[in-house]
Amino acid sequence: MSDPLIEMHNITFTYPGSPRPVFQDFHFQFFPKNHLGLTGPNGCGKTTLLHLIMGLLRPQAGNIVIFGQEIKQDKDFIPIRQKVGLLFQNPDDQLFCPTVMEDVAFGPLNQGRSPAEARQIARETMESLGLRGFEDRVTYKLSGGEKKLVSLATVLAMQPQLLLLDEPTTGLDENTRHRLIHILQDLSIPYMIVSHEPEFLNHTVKECCHVHGHCCQPTPVPPEGKEV
Partner 1 sequence: MSIQEPFSDGASVVHRLDPRGRIVVAAIFAILIATTSTYATALAGLALAILCLALARLPLRQVAVRLLVVNSFIFFLWLVLPLTYPGDPVWRLGPLTATRQGLVFTGLITLKSNAIILALIALIATVPVVTLGQALHQMRVPDKLTHLLLFTYRYIYVFEQEYRRLVQAMKIRGFRPRTNLHTYRSYAYLAAMLLVRSFDRAERVFQAMLCRGFNGTFYSLTTFSWQGRDSLFLTASLPVLVGLVFLEWFKPTLL
Q: How far apart are CA 129 and CA 147, in angstroms?
A: 12
- Spatial contact of 177 and 193, defined as CB atoms under 8 Å apart: no
In whole angstroms, the minimum distance from the beta carbon of 77 to partner 1 comes to 8
Closer residue to partner 1 (CB): 166 or 197: 166
Nearest to 151 by CA among 173, 177, 133, 131: 131
Closer residue to partner 1 (CB): 90 or 217: 90
Closer residue to partner 1 (CB): 94 or 202: 94
Identity at 33, one-letter amino acid code: K
Residue 57 DSSP symbol: S
Closer residue to partner 1 (CB): 121 or 208: 121
In whole angstroms, the minimum distance from the beta carbon of 80 to partner 1 comes to 10
In whole angstroms, the minimum distance from the beta carbon of 140 to partner 1 comes to 5
The helix (H) or strand (E) run that includes residue 218 is strand 218-220
Nearest to 163 by CA among 225, 88, 220: 88
Closer residue to partner 1 (CB): 90 or 161: 90
Closer residue to partner 1 (CB): 157 or 221: 157
Q: How far apart are CA 175 and CA 186, in angstroms?
A: 17
- Spatial contact of 62 and 41, defined as CB atoms under 8 Å apart: no
Q: How far apart are CA 122 and CA 142, in angstroms?
A: 17
In whole angstroms, the minimum distance from the beta carbon of 34 to partner 1 comes to 21
- Spatial contact of 49 and 43, defined as CB atoms under 8 Å apart: no
In whole angstroms, the minimum distance from the beta carbon of 210 to partner 1 comes to 25
Binding site for partner 1 (CB under 8 A): 51, 54, 56, 78, 81-82, 84-86, 88, 90, 92-94, 96-99, 101-102, 105-107, 109-111, 115, 118-119, 139-141, 154-155, 158
Do strands 69-71 and 61-66 pair parallel, antiparallel, or not at all (unpaired)? antiparallel
In whole angstroms, the minimum distance from the beta carbon of 214 to partner 1 comes to 26
